[in-house]
Structure 1
Amino acid sequence: MLSYTYLLIDFFTVIICFIFSFHHKIKFNRHFGAFFGASLLVGFVFIVWDVWFTKNGVWWFNDKYLLGIRILNLPVEEILFFICIPFSCVFTYFCLDKFFKLDWKPLPEKIFVIISIILALIVGISFKEKIYTSFTFLTTSASLFILYFLLKQRWIGKASFIYLLLMPGFLLVNGILTGTGLESPIVNYNPNDFLGIRILTIPIEDTVYGYELILWNIYLFQKFKQPKT
């Protein structure tokens, strides 16, 4: 049964959102094509990142909690992670955006984005010897700059607030993956490659990694989806 642990985490992460996506007031199922198009494109980039880090021992996986099926040396459960987590997050964003007015005023959003870019840049440069920390913060800084200043996206503040609302669920899922409640972690990290600051068992870098993952999924989802119905 332990070998199904990571797969069950993926399943329970997505199943409730998947069921409610067919609700007549939500109709998220009408945008499945847009979601899968977005998640596959973003997932491809993050899987390449994942393969690279796994190959170089930045992180690795505990076979005790896996089915044993690997693609590009990644557990199949890890690949499903890049569909299941974004699905739940994009679904939540879609619902809250549909039923509530969460848009930020231009000036506070601009200030937030600029401060976030600068802080992420400082952390990324300051800890350049720690590859997980440096790469995650630098790419997130670049992503925010591209999305806000080059692509002129004006939903960053709203998405950031929704990501904060999702944080309890993120901490639960990522907590289990990193060892909370288990005899040993499903995902292990090389202590030389990250700051060592953890929320429970979760490296602080994971929250930034997840933030960048969701921002790009939201961007492409909105670009691909059909007009509101």
Structure 2
Amino acid sequence: MPYTYILINFFTVIICFLASFDKRIQFNKLFGKFLLSSTIVAIPFIIWDVWFTSKGVWWFDLNYTLGFTIAGLPIEEWLFFYCIPFACVFTYYCLEKFFSLRGIDGLNNLIVFTAVIILSVAGLLYHERIYTLLTVVVTIFTLCYLHFIVKKDWIARASFVYLVLMPGFFAVNGILTGSLIPSPVVNYNPDDFLGIRMGTIPVEDAVYGYSQFLLNIYFFKKITKNEK
């Protein structure tokens, strides 16, 4: 079905988009700043995407897309780097606005050190698998930059929200990787990742999404001057 990927993007973003205009939230006033922050994050991730697609690390079944491609990526894939972050940043913004999440800030050290150790071991053991290695390197850099260099105190809060978003992650990435449809929208070269899947989703996708999520929160906060 050629509308599969575009519908995934649409249903990912539509509820959050409509809720943005709620008078209690007024996230619509931040649309411009969100677009700027998400573009900053999207640029390196799109370059990564284009490179991996050109190398056959992953590829797209265009039967599930509208058929328009830019730099080898379906137009839906470009939109993915705005639709998914929009839903994620909106959710984080609302949870932080209406609930007190600061009580878990003390977990920052534990989360960062545990994640860095686990990722480092995975990177060393499976350095020949390019998707695994690059995902590990980017996520370790992201965590270390946020925690040790710019010293942000919201990593635990963001990590909690990422867990809250997991049902949506499994729904979206599950369909893209072949759940509920005859074949995957996104296919992976088995030589380039661990081969460990959560259902149909490579475990690297969750780590990749985590680093992308953290960077979107960081730049959104920075641009809106909401440093804490």
- TM-score of the superposition, structure 2-length normalised? 0.97
- SS for the counterpart of 2:15 is helix
Q: Quick one: which amino acid aligns to residue 154 of structure 2?
A: W
Residue aligning to 1:192: 191
For residues 105 and 172 of structure 1, the distance between their equivalents in structure 2, rounded to whole angstroms, comes to 27
For residues 106 and 90 of structure 1, the distance between their equivalents in structure 2, rounded to whole angstroms, comes to 18
Q: Quick one: which amino acid aligns to residue 183 of structure 2?
A: S
- Per-residue CA deviation, residues 37-95 of structure 1 (Å, 9 max, x unaligned), is 11111001100000010011000000110111111111000000000000000000000
Residue aligning to 1:150: 149
Residue aligning to 1:73: 72
- SS for the counterpart of 2:110 is helix
**Structure 2, gaps ≥5 residues long:** none
User: Residue 104 of structure 1: CA displacement?
Assistant: 4.3
Provide the alpha-carbon RMSD of the alignment: 1.3
| 2:82 corresponds to 1:83 | yes
- SS for the counterpart of 2:151 is coil
Residue aligning to 2:32: 33
| 2:222 corresponds to 1:223 | yes
User: Residue 111 of structure 1: CA displacement?
Assistant: 1.9
Pairing 1:139-218 to 2, within 5 Å after superposition: 139-218=138-217
User: Residue 200 of structure 1: CA displacement?
Assistant: 0.8
User: Residue 108 of structure 1: CA displacement?
Assistant: 2.5
Residue aligning to 1:95: 94
**Structure 1, gaps ≥5 residues long:** none
For residues 121 and 87 of structure 1, the distance between their equivalents in structure 2, rounded to whole angstroms, comes to 30
For residues 40 and 105 of structure 2, the distance between their equivalents in structure 1, rounded to whole angstroms, comes to 29
Residue aligning to 1:117: 116
- Per-residue CA deviation, residues 74-128 of structure 1 (Å, 9 max, x unaligned), is 1000000000000000000000000001124554221221111121122112110
- The change in CA–CA distance for 1:217 and 1:203 in structure 2 (over 3 A counts) is same
